[in-house]
Structure 1
Amino acid sequence: MLKYYACMTNPMLNLKGLVCCKYIRRAAVLIKRVQVTQLELGMFICDLNCNWIEHNFLFSKFKIDNPKDIQKIQSMGIKEVSIDTSKGLDVLSAPSAAQVKKDMDAKFLKHIEELSEPLREVPLLDEIKTAKLIRAEAKETIKNVLTDVRLGNQISIESVQKIVPRMTDSIFRNKDALLGLSRIKSMDEYLFFHSVSACVLMVSLSHSLGLTRQEMDDIGMGALLHDIGKVKVPPEILNKPGKLTDDEFGKMKDHVTYGYEILRKIPNIPETAILVTHQHHERFDGTGYPNKLKGDELSIYGQMAAIVDVYDALTSDRCYHKGMQSTDALRKIFEWSQFHFNPIVVQHFIRCVGVYPIGTLVRLDDQRLAVVIGSGKRSLLHPTVRVILNIKNRAFLRPLDIDLSDTKTICKIISWESPADYDINPFEYTDLLRK
């Protein structure tokens, strides 16, 4: 039943086919969205409505049978949760979670339709080869830096100072190359790829915000090093394949302070880079850590890093967590901008990432399956796609590229699809893996 509830959304934003009305009505009655101030003993939480890595409840679905659970939820900065009224107490005045989601999707759609994306100066295919080399070098750079910290060696950031400007240059030429590559990650090397992805996303966001070139390079340096403090976290906690205990969660959060202390000892490191590292877990409403900074107390660099860090965590696969599709993650970021993130910065982030990033598997309204291979020229909702499959008979087609922003094109996207449902690696149909 929850599967049907989750699918009820705007067709432009991930409607997984038409949903049977009886399931919609049933879900709307059972699942409700409530404020955390309305929580009581006996209610059954079915969605904590927060980034999975920012809570350490053993389960995301549970019945509240201890007042401490309510206190813990409130202390984490969560504002709203979904409850299943078939398994616990109800709040009669609360709206259905389905209606809240529908309203949020409508706001999201209206928001992104107003965003535009400039044309690229360099064709994507021309930039991919260079971007691959830069990404590989960036990965080795952060790996070497973290190894030096772990071994207690003198830290040199010369390699970081060299690679970040090259990443910035690539993003200026065509940001889709590095942004697309940043979505291809190895679960076994999460920390390294997360650092590189954060750097790419931060520099792209800096570009969208119109920051100076020096700021972009300094921000990129901070993003590449933002999790440097994790080398001081005990490995059994850092690599634990499951939820952390309260004590372990506290020690994990210490990585921010460790990182700040490490960077402070490096000569001539930009203050901007330190702010990115020290504030990437702060939140705009003051519910983050380590200093619970709020609003303007939080630097613009910290506000940016908070969004980027959560987005990349949401979309990454871990041994104990399957990453979200990018479109769903952007929806959650947009929703949480009511509380945790600066709405203006979120707007720029959505613009620079795109609603359908390269490698997204999408369903067209003519029942063909396609892979997004480039940003649209007209809007974020009209990318360039490569058609690969007839959904009706599951027959593969001769690949055909379609620019959905072309006014002569009559088909459109009605949803994103899960690659696992079709046993497809969508990146194999893009130019990103081309030798």
Structure 2
Amino acid sequence: MLKRVSTSDVELGMFIHKLEGSWFSHPFWKSKFLLEDPDMLAALRESDVDGVIIDVSRGNDVVERQQRTLARAASAPVAVQPAAMARPTFVRPPTVMPMAREFGRAKRTVGDALRVVNKTFLEARLGKTVNAKDVEPVIDAIYASVQRNLYAFNGLLRCQNGSEFIYRHSLAVSALMIAMARHMKFDPLDIRDAGMTGLLMDIGVGQLPVDLSAVGSDYAQLPAELKDQHVLLGCSFLKAAGDIPGSVINAVLQHHERLDGSGYPHGLSGNEIDKLSRMAAICDAYDTLSSASAAGAGLDPVEAIRVLRAQPEKFDATLLEKLVETVGVYPVGAFVRMRSNRLAMVVDEDPSDPSAPTVRTFWSVELNKRLKGTTIMLAQCFGEDAIEGVADMSGFDAAELDKLRESLLSAACKEFA
């Protein structure tokens, strides 16, 4: 039986049949689910959704909650009640949050998601089937973070030290795919498929007959004849699950195909490669290029974009520009040289001016020494400083860059918290 209840009366254990209002007013890509996650309950109560439709045949009824409340009240000692007071009215928090506010939530989401992805990949290696419901909570959490702040989740992954490459890569590509699909105004289910593609595109790596610890969990360091098998193994593995969308399975199979036919496993070209697969190819390549791995330090995000732009025969140029619009001209984590002869790192974006992000300075080129550092919102500094180009960070190794990124992002978020 279906019943409408106020958002304030929703509790864990209820089966949400429908969320009232526009999809853009709530932080979930799906409208039917059993509410079991306290964070999802909190997000629902903070959203602009006034009411929901629950299915009491599949979950708790609001009446049960009221009865339990009355029962507790009846057994409690009688207390003298103060005079009735008018309930205060609170303004709902905005859906979009600044980087500093989303930083802590994104950090918790990354930690939880990494544990789920780690478990999923290990179970895949042991032959256990992965079902859509196993990864949906991760996609929910990533989508909610992306909706609150487009740059926090992926920027944090870019600047966070540690975690095995394959797991961090899966989360980063999933977040990029969700953000890109959202920017391109995909419908909710297609955004879900985009995020699931990113999360599961390398699930076949767990099926390879090798010990990945020998290459720092970076399968790209394996011989080509072995590495290339992971898309076929992943496709077969996900088909066996039975509930993974066909578009996701197809994109997992095709995300290493290239427009000029030089990719694998089937050497497809041009329109033989569907849109979701082309998006996956771009997001996968971008994160691989810009992430530290067993091969060494990754490229600066700006340089990674330049590398992809230089290969229009392989990567869809129109979709690549959509990624640039999504992550910014200078993505979070990019090191830049300032007009003031200082080096800085991008720590946040300004959607109104992609060329003028927020940066955190850390080095004086003139004095050749580390600075205490200041955070500058370039879009609001009235020309006091500006980015002149990408910084040369060749003197740092991968571990040093990871630590530097993490410390600069943390310092900037603490300053604005």
Global fold match (TM > 0.5): yes
* Secondary structure in structure 2 of the residue aligned to 1:183: helix
Q: Which residues of 2 match residues 75-114 of structure 1 at below 5 A?
A: none
Partner of 2:237 in structure 1?
A: 262
- Asked if 1:431 corresponds to 2:410, the answer is yes
Q: Which residues of 2 match residues 11-50 of structure 1 at below 5 A?
A: none
Match of residue 364, structure 2, among 390, 393, 418: 390
Q: Which residues of 2 match residues 132-281 of structure 1 at below 5 A?
A: 132-184=107-159, 189-236=164-211, 239-240=214-215, 248-281=223-256
- Which structure exhibits the higher relative contact order, with contacts defined as CA atoms closer than 8 Å and separated by 6 or more residues? 1
- Asked if 1:399 corresponds to 2:399, the answer is no
Query: Taking structure 1 as reference, are residues 396 and 188 closer, same or farther at Cα in structure 2, changes over 3 Å only?
Result: closer
8 Å CA contact 1:365, 1:413 repeated in 2: yes
Query: Taking structure 1 as reference, are residues 248 and 431 closer, same or farther at Cα in structure 2, changes over 3 Å only?
Result: closer
8 Å CA contact 2:344, 2:361 repeated in 1: yes
Partner of 1:412 in structure 2?
A: 386
* Secondary structure in structure 2 of the residue aligned to 1:386: strand
Root-mean-square deviation (Å): 2.9
Query: Taking structure 1 as reference, are residues 318 and 223 closer, same or farther at Cα in structure 2, changes over 3 Å only?
Result: same
8 Å CA contact 2:290, 2:301 repeated in 1: yes
Amino acid at match of 1:362: V
Partner of 1:283 in structure 2?
A: 258
Query: Taking structure 1 as reference, are residues 363 and 127 closer, same or farther at Cα in structure 2, changes over 3 Å only?
Result: same
Matched pairs, number: 316
- Structure with the greater alpha carbon radius of gyration: 2
Runs (5+) with no aligned partner, structure 2: 1-93
Partner of 2:347 in structure 1?
A: 373
Match of residue 354, structure 1, among 316, 323, 328: 328
Superposition deviation, residue 398 in structure 1: 4.5
Superposition deviation, residue 417 in structure 1: 2.1
Query: Taking structure 1 as reference, are residues 170 and 390 closer, same or farther at Cα in structure 2, changes over 3 Å only?
Result: same
Superposition deviation, residue 227 in structure 1: 0.4
Query: Taking structure 1 as reference, are residues 248 and 371 closer, same or farther at Cα in structure 2, changes over 3 Å only?
Result: closer
Amino acid at match of 1:161: E
Partner of 1:305 in structure 2?
A: 280
- Asked if 1:341 corresponds to 2:315, the answer is yes
* Secondary structure in structure 1 of the residue aligned to 2:192: helix
Superposition deviation, residue 164 in structure 1: 0.1
Query: Taking structure 1 as reference, are residues 412 and 233 closer, same or farther at Cα in structure 2, changes over 3 Å only?
Result: same
8 Å CA contact 2:255, 2:277 repeated in 1: yes
Amino acid at match of 2:334: T
Take 2:362 and 2:297, find their aligned partners in 1: how far apart are those partners? 25
8 Å CA contact 1:218, 1:270 repeated in 2: yes
Aligned identity (percent) is 27
Query: Taking structure 1 as reference, are residues 182 and 241 closer, same or farther at Cα in structure 2, changes over 3 Å only?
Result: closer
Take 1:247 and 1:417, find their aligned partners in 2: how far apart are those partners? 31
Q: Which residues of 2 match residues 31-70 of structure 1 at below 5 A?
A: none
8 Å CA contact 1:142, 1:225 repeated in 2: no
> Structure 1 length as normaliser, TM-score?
0.66
Superposition deviation, residue 394 in structure 1: 3.2
Which is further off, 317-326 or 248-257? 317-326
* Secondary structure in structure 1 of the residue aligned to 2:244: coil
Partner of 1:11 in structure 2?
A: none
Partner of 1:112 in structure 2?
A: none
C-alpha deviations, 1:174-231, integer Å up to 9, x for none?
A: 1111121121355661111111111111111111222111111121112111101111
C-alpha deviations, 1:295-324, integer Å up to 9, x for none?
A: 222111100011111111111222233311
8 Å CA contact 1:283, 1:340 repeated in 2: yes
Query: Taking structure 1 as reference, are residues 366 and 308 closer, same or farther at Cα in structure 2, changes over 3 Å only?
Result: same
Amino acid at match of 1:428: S
Take 2:216 and 2:196, find their aligned partners in 1: how far apart are those partners? 29
Superposition deviation, residue 134 in structure 1: 1.5
C-alpha deviations, 1:41-99, integer Å up to 9, x for none?
A: xxxxxxxxxxxxxxxxxxxxxxxxxxxxxxxxxxxxxxxxxxxxxxxxxxxxxxxxxxx
Take 2:296 and 2:240, find their aligned partners in 1: how far apart are those partners? 35
8 Å CA contact 1:303, 1:342 repeated in 2: yes
8 Å CA contact 1:230, 1:238 repeated in 2: no
> Structure 2 length as normaliser, TM-score?
0.69
* Secondary structure in structure 2 of the residue aligned to 1:231: helix
Which is further off, 263-272 or 182-191? 182-191
Superposition deviation, residue 173 in structure 1: 1.4
- Asked if 1:327 corresponds to 2:306, the answer is no
* Secondary structure in structure 2 of the residue aligned to 1:372: strand
Amino acid at match of 2:261: G
* Secondary structure in structure 1 of the residue aligned to 2:151: helix
C-alpha deviations, 1:216-251, integer Å up to 9, x for none?
A: 112111211110111121225784489999993112
Take 1:352 and 1:185, find their aligned partners in 2: how far apart are those partners? 20
Superposition deviation, residue 407 in structure 1: 6.8
8 Å CA contact 1:182, 1:200 repeated in 2: no
Take 2:324 and 2:384, find their aligned partners in 1: how far apart are those partners? 25
C-alpha deviations, 1:254-299, integer Å up to 9, x for none?
A: 1100000000011221122212211110112222111222222211
